[in-house]
Amino acid sequence: MDVPVSPEPSRRFSTRTQSFRQALISRHAWPVVTLAVLGLAVVSALTGCGPSAPGAGGMGQMPAPQVGVVTVKPAGVTLATELPGRLEAVRTAQVRARVTGVVVKRLFTEGSLVRQGQSLFEIDAAPYRAALDSAQASQAKAEAGLAQAQATLERNRPLAEARAISQQEWVATQAAQKQAAADLASAKAAVTQARLNVEYAAVRAPISGRIGRALVTEGALVSQGEATLLATIQQVDTLYVNITQPAADALRLKRAVQDGRLQAPVSALAHLVLDDGTEYAQPAKLLFSDLTVDATTGQVTLRAEVPNPRGDLLPGLYVKVRVDQARSESAILLPQQAVTRGAGGDTVLVVGADKQVGPRTVQLGGARGNEWVVLGGLKAGDQVVVEGFQKIRPQSPVNPVPWSPLGSASGAASAPASAASR
């Protein structure tokens, strides 16, 4: 027999459950709504900062970074190479003592110009004058002996022809005359030597030029045997420049000229660059190239001649020499800051048709001032990046603007960039 169950308890349970849910929802409703609103605001802000969708009118889009470029234009360029060189006097003479004696007087001013034959030092010549007098006396004695022997010869000649004297006596007479003549010649040579010693006591300049400091003072004993160095004279109105160049570079340029890729220079001139970076006013004239290569350095020596009328250049001075070695009719000049040099080669950054930047390997032919001479790797119309390298990003376009060495491209374009950012 079924016992009926009253529905009242279950209804009361359902009512209590619903009340609990409503109370729970009402308790947490405001925080949930608040979090949802904040989340939507953050998403909206992030979406506004990101790139706009196509067709949105460019609102909020970042402009492409501007880089300074130069457009490649081939032209005729003379290839010049800066090589190390050292100046040398055209003529150098060492003034040395030719007799032994004590220096009595110095007759020149140190550092002054002297003429050939000018007296520089005076060595005590008293012993040599005495020797000259003795030699002259010996010469006079020899002359008297020769006169006597000659008279005896002439007196005995007819006697020998008449056989009035023996053949042995006649031969002895002839020998005595020849001996007297030889003694006179020896006496004359001694006189000449003694006279030279007297002249050598007055030390004279062998060449004209500028004399350096005196290496001896009055009272110093100089020796003929040791050939004491007294001073040095150099001709500095014209100087030689001894230039060294790697033999491999010289051979490469020679082959390029022979193959027709380069042309020989029109004039064999060189320009001196001093230590302070200034260029010497007078050009140097190349004279010759050495026939052998230095086995230790692998370099070949060239010699040039440079005028020095005012004496601005000094022998021994180290200089850089800019030598015109060849000419190219299709070379390209680029600022040195546009080229990156490395062990793997020389490269530049080129802006492509899609406004993206890519590296390009180039072949350099030397420098001209603050520019590199590019012989290969670029063609007319290429845009090479010179400024703004830090703005370039991989696979990102750039905005190339003309670059000028007088003013940076970034500065010239700063106004449009700031307007676009606003």
- Quote the tokens at residue 79: 């290839």
Q: Is there a single domain that holds both residue 299 and residue 170?
A: no
**pLDDT for 60:** 53
- The residue from 153, 172, 199 where one domain ends is 199
**pLDDT for 324:** 78
Measured in degrees and rounded to the nearest 5, phi and psi for residue 251 equal -65, -40
Residue with tokens 């020796």: 223
Amino acid at 189: A
Query: Parallel, antiparallel, or unpaired: how do β-strands 345-351 and 357-368 relate?
Result: antiparallel
Q: Is there a single domain that holds both residue 68 and residue 150?
A: no
Confirm whether 29 is domain-assigned: no
Confirm whether 230 is domain-assigned: no
Confirm whether 297 is domain-assigned: yes
**pLDDT for 29:** 41
Domain membership of residue 134 as a residue range = 125-199
Which DSSP category does 407 fall into?
A: B
Q: Is there a single domain that holds both residue 166 and residue 83?
A: no
Confirm whether 172 is domain-assigned: yes
Query: Parallel, antiparallel, or unpaired: how do β-strands 66-71 and 399-402 relate?
Result: parallel
**pLDDT for 1:** 40
- Whole-angstrom Cα Rg for the chain: 50
Confirm whether 18 is domain-assigned: no
Residue with tokens 């064999």: 268
* CATH number for position 272: 2.40.30.170
Q: What angle do CA 51, 57, 62 make, to 5 degrees?
A: 40
pLDDT (tens digit, 0 to 9) for every residue of the chain, 422 residues total?
A: 444 444 444 444 344 434 433 443 344 443 443 333 344 344 444 444 444 444 444 445 678 888 999 999 888 887 778 889 999 999 999 999 999 999 999 999 999 999 999 999 999 999 999 999 999 999 999 999 999 999 999 999 999 898 888 999 999 999 999 999 999 999 999 999 999 999 999 999 999 999 999 999 999 999 887 778 999 999 999 999 999 988 888 887 777 777 776 777 766 788 899 888 888 999 999 888 888 898 888 899 999 999 999 888 999 999 999 887 777 878 888 999 999 988 888 999 999 988 889 999 998 877 777 888 888 889 889 999 999 898 888 888 899 999 887 755 444 444 333 333 33
The number of C-alpha atoms within 13 Å of 24 and in the hemisphere containing its C-beta is 6
Distances (CA, A) of 418 to 56, 62, 97, 387: 21, 11, 82, 19
Confirm whether 213 is domain-assigned: no
327-358 core/surface letters (b: 16 or more CB in 10 A; e: else): bbeebbbbbeebbeeeeeebbbbbbeeeebbe
Q: What angle do CA 331, 366, 409 make, to 5 degrees?
A: 70
Confirm whether 38 is domain-assigned: no
Could you give the number of structural domains in the chain? 2
Q: State how far the Cα of 363 lies from the Cα of 377, in Å rounded to an integer.
A: 6
* Cβ-contact 194, 132 below 8 angstroms: yes
For the residues of 45-68, what is the DSSP string, one character each?
Answer: HHHHHSPPPTTSTTTTPPPPPEEE
Confirm whether 284 is domain-assigned: yes
Q: Is there a single domain that holds both residue 289 and residue 358?
A: yes
Q: Is there a single domain that holds both residue 249 and residue 348?
A: yes
Has this prediction a pTM greater than 0.75? no
